[in-house]
Structures are given as structure tokens and as C-alpha cells.
Chains A and B, each alone.
Chain A
Amino acid sequence: MTDATAPTPRTAAPAVAPRVKVAMILFAAFALFPLLAFALDDPFLIVIGTRILAYAIAAMALDLILGYGAMVSFGHAAYLGFGTYAVAILSSYGVTDIFAQTLFAVAISAVFAFVTGAISLRTKGVYFIMITLAFGQMAFFFFISLSAYGGDDGYGLSGRSTVLGSNMLENDTTLYYATLVALIALFVLCHRIVASRFGRVLTGIRENPTRMESIGFPPFRYQLTAFVISGCITAVAGVLLANQAQFVSPAFMSWHRSGELIVMVVLGGIGTLSGAIGGAVAALLLEEVLGMMTEHWRLWFGIFLVLMVLFSPRGLTGLFEQIRGRRE
């Protein structure tokens, strides 16, 4: 499937073991992180940590189609939005159970991803990027005009979701660990998908759609399925983000957010699920650190981004490998 003569020298088929190792190290670090927060007596770190973990889920979901399927979706923030608004809308009707909310979020996202994906996947390249961006904006404007839930101003949640009737998520540390559990579970899921026959077909389509089609794998079907799966996983991240912030607003689905998700994936090196998680951590930490130093952090983040693309196209993973002198 990944042919040595393939025209685009992208990351080859996932060399499983070392990347799973990286992921396990990351997860262990996440699990120990609250201890650091307690040691520093800074509970706000836990809140930031939860946000990072939730975005790591979204970045991993995007990597599933961007890295393994070469589909540059520029509208993925829409699914974050569906997740957050699923929490807001259901809890306003008294349904606060997180599983019910997640199911609702996933259902909406599946429908939206199926319809918009089916249209977007009729096109390729630049068209695909712009169309997914436009559909993302469509969802954004829909929620802006949804005045029942605050429209542009957003909507504050009265409390966090419940788990089978218990309000244990009100505790920040519990929410943090719940998010970590979700991240690990979804990582295992994504990892299984990538390693499965379906995942191999997807990678094959990335490398050479015509060849895959001629040996009996119609790309459209596989790509659309991956697109829907990715959207649904991103919605889970949205559910967790709404709980973390206890506030939902269309800002979660602005096109800047979609861009930031792509930044996270690329920063970690595309086509490596653990890279997307690392990328989310790196991007959000960079944001926090720059934000502490200057109110104009976006300027420096933008400069960093341009320099990264120009000088280290394979993200931080590529940079590390360059430094260690290891080439694939």
C-alpha cells in the first residue's frame, strides 16, 4: 500500500510500536499532571489541562481524516460547536446526563458530516478546503442567529453534566480525569481504526485513489465514512469543552478554531495520532505562555506558524527527527 515510488513522500504506514509508546508516555504525564497542580497550589492549571485534553481529542479526530485520509477539513470546529450546544440545549430541557448529551451531539454531527461530507467529497484539493470552510461557517451563522441560546453572546450553563445521576463532574479534578479517560478510550478507538482493514484502505486512497478504485475500493464510500467518524469524535470533545467552560458560544466554531485544530495536527506531525495529541498540548501551551507575556500573542503565534511552515514542514515530530538525525 505505501509504495516506495509514491509521488508524495508522506509519513508511511504507521510504525505502530514507537508511536504507541509516545502516546503512553503522554498519557502517563497527563495522569500525573494534577499532582503538579496541587504541588504548585494552582487549581487553575487543572482547568487549563482539561481544555488541552479536550482539544487533543479534537485534534486526534481531525488527524484521522487529515493525516490518514489527506482530507484537509477546514470546518471541523463546527463539530466542537455541535458538542457544546448539545450540552446546552439538552440541559436546558433538564437532560443533564453526559451520555445522553454525547449521544445527541454524535447524532447531529453524524448527520451534518454525512450531508456536507457527501457534497464536499465530490471535489478535491483547494475546493475541498474551501467548501468545508464554508459549511463550517454555515453552522457558525446558524448558532449566531439561534437567539434562544444567546446568539452571538453565548449561553451560560447552570451546572456541569451528570454521570448516571451523580454530579461528580462538578469537581474540576474529576472532570479532568474523565476527559483523560475519554481521550485514552478514543485514542484506542482511532488506533484500532487506523490499523484495521478500513484504515489501510483509507491510507491507500490517500496515496493513490485511482489504484485503490481499480482494485475494488471506491474511495468516496471510505472517505465519507472516515469523515463522519471524525466529526462524531470531535463532537465528544465539544461535550467535554462545554463542561470545562460551563459556557457555550458560537466562538467555539469560528473558522479560527478550525484553523487552530489544523495547526495542532500539523504541529505534531500529520498522520501520527499521538503527534496530534502532542500538537494540541504544544499549541495550547504556546498560546497560554505567549498570552501571559503579551496581549498581542496572536502576532507571535502567527510568526511562529509562518516560520514553522517555511522551515519545518513536518511539524515538531519532523523537527525532533531532524535534530536526532533520524530520517524515515
Chain B
Amino acid sequence: MANLFVLQLLNGVQLGVLLFLIAAGLTLVFGIMDVVNLAHGVLYMVGAYFVATFAALTGSFWWGLLLMLPAAIAVGLILEVVVIRRLYARSHLDQVLATFGLVMIANETVKIVWGTSPLSVPTPELLSGSIPLMGPLRYPVYRVGIIVAGLAVALGLFLVINYTRIGMLLRAGATNRAMVSALGVDIGKLFAIVFTLGAVLACFAGALIAPILSVDTGMGESVLILTFVVVVIGGIGSIKGAFLGAILVAVVDTLGGVFGPILLREVLDPSAANQTGRMLAPMLVYILMAVILFAKPAGLFGAKA
């Protein structure tokens, strides 16, 4: 039982780190630009497709990852300049519609370019195999790698946001956009940077997960909704909230799926417990969100409701 718990906890943290990478960009885009971006999950998917393509072309996951970065920057910039930029002054409803349109365009384009069958990316040799944890328990090196890479990016983001000039502008923008603009900051450029940064982080998350997941067109959707939950729980515009929210959501989601039925078996007979557990498990994160919002409508670290 303890072994299973540790294993699932690690899986939860690994998912949480990925969710954080996606949520960080989304929460900044919400907080600073006040834009609802439904197309953020698409970027995660595109990142995975990029790394699959580049890794297949070059024969190396690492080259794939490296080539993915400029491609992600290009996608982010193009999206910002062509569509998102025109939505800043518009209502949330317009933003929802336009980015919903982008989701349809992107999903269909991916189907046309890469086909409908899922792609797979081989795990890089350097990170294959597994390491011993406790007792007979082993954990795949690659998943450890994801956790380390994600935490490293989180740390980097933390340093940039708290100790650099651009980070200062980001924090100021999330608190009071009009004031930042009035003080002579080129808000258009700041927005483009924020959006592109968010796009690159989401693509990076997709690229990291590609070797342990099959890469297909639906992958952005489930993650998008979970990311929304993370952003809402953490509070819009808060990177710290996104980090804690991501870990919380992912751990609850992962542990709930495994331990929900086990706990229910204490009160119900096994088949009923399995049945109820299976039904409740996917709803757990939403119940968590409802509870947190009931107590704090602006999320854990939200500045504005």
C-alpha cells in the first residue's frame, strides 16, 4: 500500500509539473492581458507533434527538443500577431469565440498534416530504464527527468519574475495594466512577449510528455480543462497559485483515481465501491475546485475576482 502510495504520489507530482508549465502561461495571459485563450491546449498538442516530427527527422529526441523551441516561438508570435492581438480590447465572449475557432482550425490542420493515427516518440536513451525507489519499487528515469525539468523551469520562471526587469513589468501588468501602460511601457510588446512565453512553455510541456504518451489530436483538450481548473484554483495572474494549484489538482486527480475505490471499499461492498469510485474519481478535481471557490471566489492567490 505504501509502495503504491509513493508511486502514485510521484505520478501526481509529474503530472502537476506538466500542468504547471501549461498553466503558467495561461494564468499570465489571463492576468496580464485579460484574454480567455481556449487555444492554449492546442499549443501543448502542437509541441508534442513538433518534437515527434523533429525527433523522427534527426533521429534524436534532444535535437527534436532543441528544434521545437524556435518552432514554438514562431507559432506563438504568429498567433499573437494574427489573431490574439486583435482580441485584447474585445469582450470575453468574442475572445471565447475566436479562440474556439482557433481550436477547430488547429485540430483540423494537425489532422491534415500529420494524419489521424497517433504518433509515438521513443524515450531518449540517456533517460531510459528505471531507478530503485524503496524496497522492490522502481521508477522510470524519464518521469524523474520530467519532474526535474519542470521544477527547473519553474525555478527559472520564479527568478525571472521576481528578479528581472521584465518580470517586474509582468507582475505590474498583472496587478494594474493601465498603470503600466501609462508609465510608458510598450504594452503591445509586453503582451507579445507574455503570449509567446506562454506558448513556448505549453509546447515544452507537450514535448516533454510526448515519449510517455501517444501523440494525438485530442491530447490538448483534456489538459486544457484541467489547466483551467488549476488557474481558477490558484487565482488568475498568480504564478505561485498556478504552481500550487497544479500540484494540488494533479495529486488529487492521480491519488483519487487509485485510492478512491480502495477507501470506498471500507464502507461499500467491493463491486459497488469500484463502480462508485470510477464514477467519482474524474469528478474529484471539480469538486475540489467548487470547494475552494466557495471559500475563496478569487482562488487561493487571486488578486481580483
Contact surface of A with B, Cβ cutoff 8 Å: 8, 66, 72, 74, 116, 119, 122-127, 129-131, 133-135, 137-138, 141-142, 144-147, 255, 259, 262-263, 266, 270, 296, 298-299, 301-306, 308-310, 313
Q: Are A134 and B232 in contact (CB under 8 A)?
A: yes
| Closest CB pairs A-B (n = 9) | A305-B101, A302-B104, A302-B105, A299-B108, A141-B282, A138-B286, A309-B98, A306-B101, A302-B101
Using a CB–CB distance below 8 Å, which chain B residues touch chain A? 30, 34, 36, 38, 83, 86-87, 90-94, 96-98, 100-109, 111-112, 221, 225, 228-229, 231-232, 236, 275, 278-279, 281-283, 286-287, 289-290, 293-294, 297-299, 305
Contact in complex: B112, A299 (CB < 8 Å) = yes
Q: Is B293 a contact of A122 with CB atoms below 8 Å?
A: yes
The answer for the CA separation of A2 and B119 in the assembled complex, in Å, is: 55
A-B contact pairs, 18 of them (CB 8 A): A123-B297, A123-B305, A127-B232, A131-B293, A134-B229, A135-B286, A142-B282, A147-B275, A147-B278, A255-B225, A259-B38, A262-B96, A266-B93, A270-B93, A296-B112, A302-B106, A305-B101, A313-B94
User: Is B90's CB under 8 angstroms from A134's CB?
Assistant: no
Give the complex CA separation of A255 and B221 in angstroms. 9
- A137 engages B286 (CB within 8 Å): yes
Set B92, B103, B221, B297: member contacting A122, Cβ < 8 A:
B297
Which chain A residues border B111 with CB–CB below 8 Å?
296
Residues of A contacting B286 in the complex (Cβ-Cβ under 8 angstroms): 134-135, 137-138
Q: Given A130-B231, A133-B225, A146-B279, is A66 in contact with B104 using a C-beta cutoff of 8 Å?
A: no
| Residue numbers in B under 8 Å from A123 (CB-CB) | 293, 297-298, 305
Q: Which residue of B lies closest to A115 (CB)?
A: B290
Give Cα A134–Cα B30 distance, bound, in whole angstroms.
Answer: 16
- How far is B146's CA from A181's CA once the two chains are assembled, in angstroms? 57
Known contacts A138-B286, A145-B278, A298-B104; decide if A131 and B232 are in contact (CB<8 Å). Answer: yes
The CA-CA distance from A72 to B29 in the complex, in Å, is 19
B93 & A66 in contact (Cβ 8 Å cutoff): yes
Assess whether B282 is in contact with A299, with CB atoms less than 8 Å apart: no
Residues in B with CB closer than 8 Å to A303 are 101, 105
- Majority DSSP secondary structure for residues of B touching A: helix
Task: Enumerate chain A residues within 8 angstroms of B36, measured Cβ to Cβ.
Answer: 126, 129-130
Complex Cα distance A72/B100, Å? 14
B232 touches A130 (CB 8 A): yes
Question: In whole angstroms, how far apart are the Cα atoms of A12 and B27 in the complex?
Answer: 34
Cα distance A53–B13 in the bound complex, in angstroms: 47
Closest to A10 in B: B91
Residue of A nearest to B26 (CB): A130
A309-B92 contact given A298-B104, A299-B105, CB 8 Å threshold: no
Contact B86 A310 (CB under 8 A): yes
Chain B hits for A259, CB < 8 A: 38, 96, 100
Q: Are B92 and A306 in contact (CB under 8 A)?
A: no
Give the distance to chain A from B115, nearest Cβ to Cβ, in Å: 12
Interface centre among A8, A135, A310 (most CB of B within 10 A): A310
CB neighbours of A135 from chain B (8 A): 286, 290
Nearest chain B CB to A76's CB is how many angstroms away?
Answer: 13
Cα–Cα, bound, A145→B281 (Å): 9
Separation in Å of the A81 CB from the closest CB of chain B?
14
A298 to B91, CA, bound (A): 24
Docked CA distance A122–B91 (Å): 20
Bound Cα distance from A96 to B73, whole angstroms: 56
B104's partner among A124, A299, A309, A310 (CB-CB below 8 A) is A299
In the complex, which residue of chain B has the Cβ closest to the Cβ of A270? B93
Q: Report chain B residues within 8 Å CB of A138.
A: 282-283, 286-287
Complex Cα distance A134/B282, Å? Answer: 12
Cβ of B283: which chain A residues have Cβ within 8 Å of it?
138, 141-142
Q: Cβ of A296: which chain B residues have Cβ within 8 Å of it?
A: 108, 111-112
> For B93, what are the chain A residues with a Cβ–Cβ distance below 8 Å?
66, 72, 262, 266, 270
CA distance A220 to B232 in the complex (A): 20
Q: Are B228 and A130 in contact (CB under 8 A)?
A: yes
- Which residue from chain B places its CB closest to the CB of A266 in the assembled complex? B97
| CB-based contact A119/B100 at 8 Å | no
Given contacts A123-B305, A134-B232, contact A305 B100 (CB under 8 A): yes
Q: Which of A133, A263, A309 contacts B90 (CB 8 A)?
A: A309
B294 to A131, Cβ gap below 8 A?
A: no
Q: What's the nearest-Cβ distance from chain B to residue A146, in Å?
A: 7
Also in contact, A313 and B30, with CB within 8 A (given A127-B305, A134-B232): no
In the complex, what residues of B have CB within 8 A of residue A133's CB? 225, 228
The answer to whether A298 touches B108, judged by C-beta atoms less than 8 angstroms apart, is yes
When C-beta atoms are compared, the residue in chain B nearest to A255 turns out to be B225
In the assembled complex, the CB of B96 is this many whole angstroms from the nearest CB of chain A, namely: 6
Count chain A CB atoms within 10 A of each CB in B96, B275, B299 and give the residue with the most: B96
**Min distance, Cβ B104 to any Cβ of chain A, angstroms:** 3
Given contacts A126-B30, A134-B225, A309-B90, contact A142 B279 (CB under 8 A): yes
In angstroms, how far is the closest chain A Cβ from the Cβ of B85?
11
Question: In the complex the two chains form, what is the Cα distance from A124 to B232 in whole Å?
Answer: 12
How long is the Cα–Cα vector from A96 to B115 in the complex, in angstroms?
43
The answer to whether B232 touches A122 (Cβ under 8 A) is no
Which residues of chain A come closer than 8 Å to B105, judged between CB atoms? 298-299, 302-303, 306
Flag if A310 contacts B98 (CB, 8 Å): yes
* B90 A313 Cβ-Cβ under 8 A: yes
Query: In chain A, what residue has the closest Cβ to B38?
Result: A259
Closest to B222 in A: A137
Q: Given known contacts A129-B92, A296-B111, A305-B98, what 6 new A-B pairs fall within 8 Å (CB)?
A: A134-B232, A137-B286, A142-B279, A259-B100, A305-B97, A305-B104
Contact indicator B92/A126 (Cβ below 8 Å): yes
User: How far is it, in angstroms, between the C-alpha of A327 and the C-alpha of B63 when the chains are bound?
Assistant: 57
